[in-house]
Amino acid sequence: MSARTLKLTISYDGTRLVGWQRQASGETVQGLLEAALSRIEGGPVTVHGAGRTDAGVHALGQVASVAVSSALPADVLLRAINASLPADVRVVDVRDVESSFHARFSARLKTYRYLIRNEAIVSPFEQRYVWQVPEPLDLEAMHAAATALVGTHDFAAFQSAGAASTTTVRTIERSEMSVRTGSVLVLPPGGADEVDGDGRASRLLAYDVCGNGFLRHMVRAIVGTLVDIGRGRSPSERMAVLLDGGSRSDAGPTAPAQGLFLVRVDYH
Question: Which CATH architecture best describes the domain 108-267?
Answer: 2-Layer Sandwich (3.30)
Mean pLDDT of 172-188: 79
Among 12-16, 33-37, 242-246, 249-253, name the one with the lowest average pLDDT: 242-246
pTM: 0.92
* DSSP letter string, 52-101: -PBTT-EEEEEEEEEEE-----HHHHHHHHHHTS-TTEEEEEEEEE-TT-
Confidence of residue 161 (pLDDT cuts 50, 70, 90): confident
Q: How far apart are CA 195 and CA 140, in angstroms?
A: 13
pLDDT, position 191? 43
pLDDT, position 194? 43
Question: Which CATH architecture best describes the domain 4-97?
Answer: 2-Layer Sandwich (3.30)
Active-site residues, by number, are 54
pLDDT, position 166? 84
Confidence of residue 261 (pLDDT cuts 50, 70, 90): very high
Confidence of residue 186 (pLDDT cuts 50, 70, 90): low
pLDDT, position 24? 86
Query: Average pLDDT, whole number, for the chain?
Result: 91
3-class secondary structure, 194: coil
Over the stretch 198-248, which tens digit does the pLDDT of each residue have? 444 568 999 999 999 999 999 999 999 999 999 999 999 999 999 988 899
Over the stretch 65-90, which tens digit does the pLDDT of each residue have? 999 999 999 999 999 999 999 999 99
Confidence of residue 180 (pLDDT cuts 50, 70, 90): confident
Mean pLDDT of 135-141: 96
Over the stretch 187-203, which tens digit does the pLDDT of each residue have? 444 444 444 444 445 68
3-class secondary structure, 120: coil
Contacts 24+ apart (CB under 8 A), 138-143: 138/229, 138/230, 138/231, 138/232, 139/177, 139/179, 139/199, 139/205, 139/230, 141/229, 141/230, 141/232, 141/235, 141/236, 142/177, 142/205, 142/226, 142/227, 142/229, 142/230, 142/236, 143/176, 143/177
Shortest CA distance to 46 belongs to which of 73, 8, 77, 78?
A: 8
Domain boundaries, the chain: 4-97, 108-267
Please state, as a whole number, how many other Cβ atoms lie within 10 Å of the Cβ of residue 166: 5
CA dihedral 191, 195, 200, 205 (to 10 degrees): 30
**pLDDT-above-90 percentage for the chain:** 84
The two most distant CA atoms of the chain are separated, in Å, by: 63
3-class secondary structure, 108: strand
Over the stretch 85-112, which tens digit does the pLDDT of each residue have? 999 999 999 999 999 999 999 999 999 9
